[in-house]
Amino acid sequence: MTAGGVEIAGEDLVLRPDRSLFWPRAKSLVIADPHFGKAETFRAAGVPVPGGTAEPLARLGAALSDTAAEHLLVLGDFWHAREGRTARVAGELAAWRAARPELGVRLVRGNHDRAGPPPDGWGEWSGAFRAEPFVLAHFPEPSDGGYVLAGHLHPGVTLGRERLRLPCFWFGARVGVLPAFGAFTGAANVPIRRADRVFAVAGGAVVDVSRR
Domain residue limits, the chain: 4-208
What sections of the chain are H helices per DSSP? 38-44, 54-67, 87-98
Give the best-scoring range by mean pLDDT among 23-32, 72-81, 124-133, 152-161.
Answer: 23-32
pTM: 0.92
Q: Identify the CATH assignment for 4-208 out of 3.40.525, 3.40.50, 3.60.21, 3.10.450.
A: 3.60.21
**What pLDDT shows up at residue 118?**
87
179/161 Cα distance (integer angstroms) = 23
Q: Are strands 134-136 and 129-131 parallel, antiparallel or unpaired?
A: antiparallel
Amino acid in the structure at residue 188: A
**What pLDDT shows up at residue 184?**
67
Residues 6+ apart with CB under 8 A from 65: none
What sections of 46-143 are H helices per DSSP? 54-67, 87-98
Lowest mean pLDDT among 64-73, 114-123, 166-175: 114-123
Closest among 109, 113, 173 to 137, alpha carbons compared: 109
**What pLDDT shows up at residue 150?**
98
pLDDT tens per residue across span 70-116: 999 999 999 877 776 788 888 899 999 999 999 999 999 998 788 78
SS3 200: strand
pLDDT tens per residue across span 8-39: 999 999 999 999 999 999 999 999 999 887 66
Average pLDDT taken over every residue of the chain:
89
**What pLDDT shows up at residue 47?**
60
Closest among 50, 117, 124, 105 to 78, alpha carbons compared: 117
Whether the per-residue pLDDT at 42 is higher than 60: the answer is no
